[in-house]
Amino acid sequence: MSASVTPRRVLFVEDETALQHSYRRFFEGRYAMAYAPSGAEAMRQLADFHPDVLVLDMRLPDTDGIALLQRIRETQPSLPVVVTTAYVSMEPLMNVLDLGHSRYLVKPYDLNELAAAIDAAG
């Protein structure tokens, strides 16, 4: 296998600044990364960055993750998505399951667990 493998392009849709910094530190050199702190910015980044995988927080300041994922699925039905949430409730999971995501992680999760989900996506 060639040493010049292109890293996966991962868009992190996450409004928590501390978590964005954790992602940057942990995944530096492993993935090509972009960040969106809101649903509106996520839609811009999807068009500009063209991610291979989307890591989507369910709680965003301008929309909820389910509504955003429904919008994304209209234009990118096959984009692998790793959904993250602080809620253990099964209701959001049931709503999201119909939208073709790859993995569902409840915060706090280990970043190695997130990396495994990203690597397995798509």
Domains along the chain? Answer: 9-117 (3.40.50.2300)
- pLDDT confidence tier of residue 24, bands split at 50, 70 and 90: very high
- pLDDT confidence tier of residue 95, bands split at 50, 70 and 90: low
Per the CB < 8 A criterion, the answer to whether 10 and 52 are in contact is yes
Higher pLDDT, 83 or 100: 83
Whole-structure pTM value: 0.88
pLDDT tens-digit series, residues 46-80:
999 999 999 999 889 999 888 899 899 888 989 99
What is the rounded average pLDDT of the residues 15-33? 96
- Which residues on adjacent β-strands are paired with residue 115? none
pLDDT at 116 over 70: yes
Distance CA 50, CA 72 (A): 12
What is the rounded average pLDDT of the residues 27-33? 96
Query: Comparing C-alpha atoms, which of 3, 12, 2, 62 is closest to residue 32?
Result: 12
Lowest pLDDT segment from 20-24, 29-33, 93-97, 113-117: 93-97
What is the strand order of the sheet 103-106 is part of?
32-36, 9-13, 53-57, 81-85, 103-106
